[in-house]
Amino acid sequence: MSMLERSVKYVDERLGAASLARKTLRKVFPDHWSFLLGEIALFCLVVLIFTGVFLTFFYTPDARLLTYEGAYAPLRGQEISAAYESTLRLSFEVRAGLIMRQTHHWAALVFVAAIVVHLCRVFFTGAFRRPRELNWVIGVVLLLLAMAEGLTGYSLPDDLLSGIGLRIVNAVVLAIPVVGTWIASLLFGGEFPAPDIIARLFVFHVMLLPAVLLGLVGLHVAILVLQKHTQFPGPGRTERNVVGKRLWPEQTFKSVGLLMFTTAVLAGLGGLAQINPVWQYGPYEPFNVTSPAQPDWYIGFLDGALRLAGPWSFQIFGYEISELFLPAIVVPGIAFGIITLWPWVERRFTKDRAEHHLLDRPRDAPLRTATGVAGLWAFFVMFLEGGNDIFGVLLDVSVESITRTLQVAFVVGPVVVGAATYFICRSLKTSQLHPAKANAGLSLRRTAAGGYETAPLDPTPLEGDGHGDGDRSRPTAAVPASEGRPPAP
């Protein structure tokens, strides 16, 4: 018996693992590239954990002051916190310290970006419908946890930029009605800038949040395996099967390949693109500030919301509702509330209680797609406003004009963009054209006499009608008139 066979026998005799392993390895997963987006996020998480553990050995979560005598000359002799000092030491004096730190930070940015793109894929294809509502909620919670991990993480070095960010977090907590001042004092350990906050953020970042995050990731993947992955409609694909390649060997090889490429991209960025140069910002002093001042991108939409809002503060019987309440608490609360509860919101409108394992194309659900695009537009406007001073310098316009334009774009834009998307979806559904490929417009043909005439449209129909019966015998002209007209010449 070979070594491998002996090992398998050893484990199987104790755990009975062979038959379970066989079933698992033969599981079928569909093959579309957009199903790999969640994996990209997962592999970013792997890189985050690997680099993060390394960082934990060098970082000191202590706000106590000491005098810097390290390698970065302009700061020598300065009184800085031990947390900041340990970050400087890691960046300048620990071999491979800077690349691990930068890779960790780039991985965090790409992690949340991948989650967002994955969420969009799931949303626009309707993969959150029954029986996957629970996994959708877990996914949204994972997004929020990832954002919280990022916020707590980049605040650990106690540099000027992240310290300013913590000041704003404190102000937002203060803005909570009735209990805000208490929560702020308990969370921070006193009035800002209470030094305890660094150590507490460390506990969240390294212990509490990763524990919940990893647990939920495990649950997220387990539910996916149990319920089997969804698939796009196509030949041979029905609601009662899943068509694709087996976990072993094809999908394993491809996933390993994707893991390698993810690590490659993140390591490349980590070595070649400088990120969060905390030595340049200097240590956090509550009376200093630097410009421009923004948080990492995934918190940037909140920063933008705060810039976008007007000076709307209210008084109720002598009590104050802060001007931060609406943009920092109400609007994100409603937005994420709708996102989390979307499967039930949509069901109220569609009355669709059936199980769905076949995905929609975005055009097949015009209302859903239009709402999603409108929501993305609103988020995008908030992001842009978050960088309004940088764009002002770039485009040579005043900060005020950018703000006014984006305020209008925030209110009017979602309606306009949503309506346009809705009608585009309806039109694409009727004409069966691929939005990027086929020619949906006028086509001119030169006649023998030298003049021009319009040639008849020749749309390239997609396979089937998108609902899994794979029946290509139905001609496109049979589209009922009530669905709308073909694209106008």
Partner 1 sequence: MRRTLVLLGGIGLLALLLTPATGSASSAARAAQVRAQTAQDTLDFGRTLYQQGCVSCHGLDPAGPSNYSTVPSLKDVGGASAVDWVLRTGRMPWRSTVGPAIERGKPKYNESETRALSLYVGEAVGDSDLPTVDIGQGDVKRGRDLYAQACAACHGMNGAGAALGGANIAPSLRDMAPLDTAEAMRIGPGVMPVFEGGDYDAAGVNSIAAYVHSLKTGADDVGGAPIGGKGPVPEGFVAWVIGLGALILVAKRIGGKT
Partner 2 sequence: MDDPQRRALAGDGLTAEQRRAERRIAVGLVITTLCGIGLFVVYFGGGQTQLEGVLFAVAFASLGYAVVVWAEKLLDAREVSEDRHELTSGPAGRQAFGDALGEEAGPLLRHPRRSFLVRLLGAAGGALGLALFLPALSLGPAPGRSLFETGWRRGKKVVDENGRPIAFDELPDDGYLTVFPEGEVGRSDSQALLIKVPRGSLQLPADRLAAVPGGTHVAYSKICSHAGCPVGLYRAQTRSLICPCHQSQFDVLNGCKPYFGPAARPLPQLPLSVDAEGNLVAAGDFYEPVGPSFWNRGRS
Please list every residue from 328 through 357 that binds partner 2, using CB under 8 A: 355, 357
**Binder to partner 2 among 1, 3, 19, 240 (CB under 8 A)?**
240
Decide if 89 contacts 58 (C-beta within 8 A). yes
Of 390 and 440, the one with the shorter C-beta distance to partner 2 is 390
Residues 409-468, interacting with partner 2 (CB under 8 A): none
Nearer residue to partner 2 within complex by CB, 12 or 323 = 323
Minimum Å gap between C-beta 325 and partner 1 is 25
The footprint of partner 2 on residues 216-235 (CB under 8 A) is 226-228
- Residue nearer to partner 1 on the CB measure, 190 or 292: 292
CB 102 within 8 A of CB 84: no
Residue 74 interacts with, from partner 1, partner 2, none (CB under 5-8 Å by kind): partner 1
Tell me, by CB under 8 A, how many residues bind partner 1. Answer: 74
- Per CB under 8 A, contacts with partner 1 among 250-269 are 254, 257-258, 261-262, 265-266, 269
With tokens 């995008």, the residue in question is: 380
Binding test (CB under 8 A) with partner 2, winner from 170, 276, 369, 421: 170
Q: In the bound complex, what is the minimum distance in angstroms from residue 17's beta carbon to partner 1? A: 29
Whether the CB-CB separation of 470 and 464 falls below 8 Å is answered with yes
CA dist 375 and 116 (Å) reads 13
187 φ, ψ to 5°?
-65, -45
Q: Which of residues 79-108 bind partner 1 (CB under 8 A)?
A: 91-92, 98, 102, 106
Q: How far is the CB of 153 from partner 1 (least distance, A)?
A: 13
Our CB check for partner 1 shows the closer of 393 and 415 to be 393
Q: Position 78: which residue type? A: Q
Q: Which of residues 55-114 bind partner 2 (CB under 8 A)?
A: 95-96, 98-99, 102-103
* Residue 163 touches partner 1, criterion: CB under 8 A: no
Among 1, 4, 272, 478, binds partner 2 (CB under 8 A): 272
Which partner in partner 2, partner 1, none is near 77 (CB below 5 to 8 A by kind)? Answer: partner 1
In whole angstroms, how close is the CB of 328 to partner 2 at the nearest point?
Answer: 8
- Shortest spacing between CB 117 and partner 1, in angstroms: 7
Q: Is 215 in the site for partner 2 (CB under 8 A)?
A: no
> What gap in Å lies between CA 408 and CA 258, rounded to an integer?
41
Binding of residue 293 to partner 1 (CB under 8 A): yes
Residue 178 CB neighbour total at 10 angstroms: 8
User: Which of 160, 170, 196, 155 minimizes the C-alpha distance to 63?
Assistant: 196
Please say which residue, 70 or 487, places its beta carbon nearer to partner 1. 70
Q: How many residues does the chain have?
A: 489
Exposure class string for 394-433: b at 16+ Cβ within 10 A, else e: eeeeeeeebbeebbebbeebbeebbeebbebbebbbbbbb
∠ at Cα 393 (391, 398), nearest 5°? Answer: 85
* Euclidean distance between CA atoms 72 and 88, whole angstroms: 8
CA distance readout (Å), 83 to 50, 77, 236: 21, 16, 59
272 is a contact residue toward partner 1 (CB under 8 A):
yes
Question: Does residue 277 touch partner 2 according to CB under 8 A?
Answer: no
Q: Which is it for strands 443-446 and 452-455: parallel, antiparallel or unpaired?
A: antiparallel
- Comparing CA positions, the residue from 279, 175, 215 lying closest to residue 45 is 215
Q: Looking only at residues 393 through 422 of this chain, which bind partner 1 when binding is defined by CB under 8 A?
A: 393, 396-400
Q: How far is the CB of 133 from partner 2 (least distance, A)?
A: 13
Distance of closest approach, residue 193 Cβ to partner 2, in angstroms: 5
Residue 243 has which token pair?
Answer: 């068509």
